């Protein structure tokens, strides 16, 4: 699946450390890629060319919020004029607690980013740590998300 060339990997050397799988306690097959999401381009959009490797993108990574259904329950109650808890709004800290991801999710995503040379000082996180923002050039994003085969597209909007 992961079919980039050595040259492409080496070209990262000036920018970031090499991607090194060994040393992890987790088996390598679990680091193999499988498709996370696949779509058809919306009508009117056409591929224009491959993206410039130097183009910089700001990606937001959403971690699952296992307690979200609890937050939703709170919202339904405190916004219902007929409910006894009507108006008992949550504090920001309480909301943050309810959207906080599992520690395991945080650890694995952090480990994955570190494999690509992206460390804590390179990312920004939401207060509840449920969103991670990383700023990376296309040449790295293509490797991290295995979009090399179907390279990141430049597309044209239909109405401009």
Partner 1 sequence: MFIVRTTEYSLPNLLHSHVDLIQPTTSFGRWKAMRSAFLDWKPDSDIDHKVSLASGTPELYRNPVSGVTVDPSCNETVTIKCLQQLYNAVGYVPKISEKENRIGVTGFLEQYANIEDLNAFYADQVPQAVGSSFEFISVNGEWEPKLTTRSWFLIFGSGGQNSQNLSESGIEAAIDTQLAYGLSYPIPGVYWSTRGTPPFIPDAKYPENGNEVRETMPRAGVHD
* Chain residues in the site for partner 1 (CB under 8 A): 1, 26, 29-42, 45, 48, 51-52, 54-64, 81-82, 101-102, 104-105, 108-109, 112, 124, 138, 145-147, 150-157, 160
Q: Cβ of residue 109: shortest distance to partner 1, in angstroms?
A: 6
Nearest C-alpha neighbor of 135 from the set 31, 16, 35: 16
CA angle 41, 44, 48 (to 5 degrees): 75
Q: Cβ of residue 117: shortest distance to partner 1, in angstroms?
A: 16
Q: Cβ of residue 85: shortest distance to partner 1, in angstroms?
A: 14
Cα–Cα distance measured from residue 124 to residue 113, given in angstroms and rounded to the nearest whole number = 12
Residue 122: alpha-carbon gap to chain centroid: 14
Q: Cβ of residue 10: shortest distance to partner 1, in angstroms?
A: 22
**59 vs 119, beta carbon nearer partner 1:** 59
* HSE-up (13 A, CA, CB side) for residue 17: 10
Helix (H, G, I), strand (E, B) or coil at 119: coil
Q: Are 100 and 67 within 8 A, CB to CB?
A: yes
**67 vs 105, beta carbon nearer partner 1:** 105
**17 vs 44, beta carbon nearer partner 1:** 44
């Amino acid at each position: 699946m992961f079919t980039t060339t050595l040259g492409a990997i080496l070209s990262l050397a000036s920018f970031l450390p090499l991607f090194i799988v060994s040393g992890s306690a987790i088996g390598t097959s679990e680091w193999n890629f499988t498709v996370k999401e696949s779509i058809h381009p919306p009508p009117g959009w056409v591929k224009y060319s491959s993206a410039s490797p130097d183009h910089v993108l700001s990606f937001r990574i959403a971690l699952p919020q296992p307690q979200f259904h609890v937050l939703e329950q709170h919202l339904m109650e405190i916004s219902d004029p007929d409910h006894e808890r009507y108006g008992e709004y949550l504090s920001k800290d309480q909301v943050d607690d309810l959207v906080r991801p599992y520690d395991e999710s945080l650890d694995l995503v952090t480990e994955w980013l570190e494999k690509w040379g992206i460390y804590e000082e390179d990312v920004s996180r939401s207060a509840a740590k449920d969103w991670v923002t990383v700023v990376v050039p296309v040449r790295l994003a293509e490797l991290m998300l295995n979009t090399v085969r179907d390279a990141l597209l430049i597309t044209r909007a239909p109405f401009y």
